[in-house]
Amino acid sequence: MSMFCFQCQEAAKGEGCTIKGVCGKTDDVANLQDLLVFVTKGLSIYAHEARQMGIEWEPVNRFVFDALFMTITNANFDKKKIEEKIREGLKLRAELKNRFEAEGGKLSSNHESLTWEADTLEAFEEKAANVGILSTANPDVRSLRELIVYGVKGMAAYAEHAFNLGYEKKELYAFMQKALAATTDDTLSADDLVALTMETGKYGVDVMALLDQANTESYGNPEITEVNLGVQKNPGILVSGHDLKDFEELLKQTEGTGVDIYTHSEMLPANYYPAFKKYEHFVGNYGNAWWKQKEEFEAFNGPVLLTTNCLVPPADSYKDRVYTTGAAGFDGVKHIAPRKNGESKDFSEIIEHAKKCAAPTELETGTIVGGFAHNQVMQLADKVVDAVKTGAIKKFFVMAGCDGRMKSRDYYTEFADKLPEGTVILTAGCAKYRYNKLPLGDIGGIPRVLDAGQCNDSYSLAVIALKLKEVFELNDINELPIAYNIAWYEQKAVIVLLALLYLGVKNIHLGPTLPAFLSPNVANVLVENFGIAGIKTVDEDIEVFMG
């Protein structure tokens, strides 16, 4: 075993990647990411204790969410960048320690992440091999600690997008650091950690609400939109990931250049925002979910910008056309530098690159419809409520989450296809690509697939559910005719799941496989308290759900 990682749905053999990640992460990068999390935990202990004394330091808040984001699945494969981030973390820890001690602070923890130091990559690598997931011996404590860390990683990603738009909530940073510190505390019982897991869900709701506010106040409320799937004659830039600020700046900088902008995978919902519709050179969506990018980036012919995960290690044939920015990175791939002093990022290099490229090769034609975030659905509320009252809509299926390359995910296409009449799918995240191009029709003008947006827009689905609960005057969200069949892949899906549990949603089915990081006992807690279940065959599951 040269590494150990089990944070995503593709963990090898459903247990963990031990030699190389199924995602393509090499063992040295995986281990350095473990060390980065370890250093971030040490810094978080200081930050958490300093906060009790009234010391809050902005650079630490930013470091914590950025460092965690870099360790999310398919975000950053660049060893050099991870190494630099570890150095930055150690430097910040030393500075915070000085401030803390100058104020007379005394630590209540003596965790080694507070004192470990090194200067060379060799020393980093030596330490990295011993601070990973398996350094917690008890499988249940390990499972709960990792569940919390992955939830916090998901929060970190959403907090960073909100921050980029100028939206912050200090309580979120305080919680993230408190939670990371708690995962180093051997005095906490399994019950304490279960309670902290639920608290993570609470802050999951808060961070998604904050990002919703940031996105909608910046760019307007998503509205019903027909998105073009074909291509135009100009060369283009394909934008993937989740960061709308990057997207806006690129749109502005490409105006009048003869370069068209297309979205890929999780950037598709950018098409639904009013503020982006005024750009004529923003021409539609190209391709599907992240895991199809090898063929699709190849066919696109022009440069591709990854603003976040999910990045698949690029083939040499198009690697020189890939650009990363923000928390994303890959060894040998050009990285667009962060904003400085409130100025925009400089996208001139990728724009000049695009001008020299051929127009994209057409993959498909036609359109898809999306934009059913909470504000838009509320405008249709009367229609929706009527359809439920008359029995035209019998059940909603929340099928939010992620897509992935496992063959078993064909289940979700078949499930959507076989759902009986009178059912409507509510979706968000890249999971939608398994069924958003099927001809599923509509119910009295309401499409049978309502796409709210990115994975973080699962918040919209929760808002819609809570609104329906109010309209139908129910006491419990679980009395609604809504079933949850969620596909997960990476750690943002973990925070979405914990947020739904916090909101009291029960009987969520999770697939295509249950997380490898749930020990049998922790899985039991989720089954007993929340009715969490896996998936079986499509026919069996539809029967259970409709029953």
Count, residues near ligand SF4 per rule CB under 6 A: 13
Angle at 180 between CA 179 and CA 184, to 5 degrees: 110
Is 357 annotated to bind ligand? no
370 lies in the site for ligand SF3, by CB under 6 A: no
**Pick 92 or 493: Cβ nearer ligand SF3:** 493
Shortest Cβ distance from residue 121 to ligand SF4 (Å)? 21
Give the residue, chosen from 1, 2, 6, 196, that forms a contact with ligand SF4 under the rule CB under 6 A: 6
The whole-angstrom separation of Cα 234 and Cα 354 is 10
The whole-angstrom separation of Cα 299 and Cα 313 is 16
DSSP character at residue 356: T
Give the residue, chosen from 1, 14, 23, 245, that forms a contact with ligand SF4 under the rule CB under 6 A: 23
* Residue 535 backbone phi and psi in degrees, to 5: -115, 155
Shortest Cβ distance from residue 208 to ligand SF3 (Å)? 12
| Interface positions, 241-280, toward ligand SF4 (CB under 6 A) | none
CA proximity to 437, closest of 417, 407, 456, 458: 417
| Interface positions, 384-443, toward ligand SF4 (CB under 6 A) | none
**Pick 132 or 370: Cβ nearer ligand SF4:** 132
Is 266 annotated to bind ligand? yes
- The interface mask with ligand SF3, positions 388-417, x = CB under 6 A, is --------------x---------------
- Residue 302's binding partner among ligand SF3, ligand SF4, none (Cβ under 5 to 8 angstroms by kind) is none
Neighbours of 479 (CB within 10 A): 11
Give the residue, chosen from 29, 30, 45, 468, that forms a contact with ligand SF4 under the rule CB under 6 A: 30
25 lies in the site for ligand SF4, by CB under 6 A: yes
The whole-angstrom separation of Cα 434 and Cα 432 is 5
Give the residue, chosen from 31, 44, 73, 301, that forms a contact with ligand SF4 under the rule CB under 6 A: 73
The whole-angstrom separation of Cα 328 and Cα 267 is 15
The one-letter code for the residue type at 379 is Q
Element (H, E) at 94: helix 79-102
Burial class (CB in 10 A: 0-12, 13-18, 19+), 256: exposed
5 lies in the site for ligand SF4, by CB under 6 A: yes
The string of DSSP codes covering 179-240 is: HHHHTT-TT--HHHHHHHHHHHHHHHHHHHHHHHHHHHHHH-----EEEE-S--SS-EEEEE
- Residue 5's binding partner among ligand SF4, ligand SF3, none (Cβ under 5 to 8 angstroms by kind) is ligand SF4
CB-based contact 209:348 (threshold 8 Å): no
Element (H, E) at 395: strand 395-398
The whole-angstrom separation of Cα 232 and Cα 381 is 36
142 lies in the site for ligand SF4, by CB under 6 A: no
- Residue 463's binding partner among ligand SF4, ligand SF3, none (Cβ under 5 to 8 angstroms by kind) is none
67 lies in the site for ligand SF4, by CB under 6 A: no
- Residue 329's binding partner among ligand SF4, ligand SF3, none (Cβ under 5 to 8 angstroms by kind) is none
- Residue 7's binding partner among ligand SF3, ligand SF4, none (Cβ under 5 to 8 angstroms by kind) is ligand SF4
Per-residue tokens: 255:
């105006």
Shortest Cβ distance from residue 8 to ligand SF3 (Å)? 9
- Residue 17's binding partner among ligand SF3, ligand SF4, none (Cβ under 5 to 8 angstroms by kind) is ligand SF4
**Pick 10 or 28: Cβ nearer ligand SF4:** 10
The one-letter code for the residue type at 212 is D
Binding site listing for [4Fe-4S] cluster: 5, 8, 17, 23
**Footprint of ligand SF3 (CB under 6 A):** 74, 242, 265-266, 290, 309-310, 402, 429-430, 454-455, 489-490, 492-493
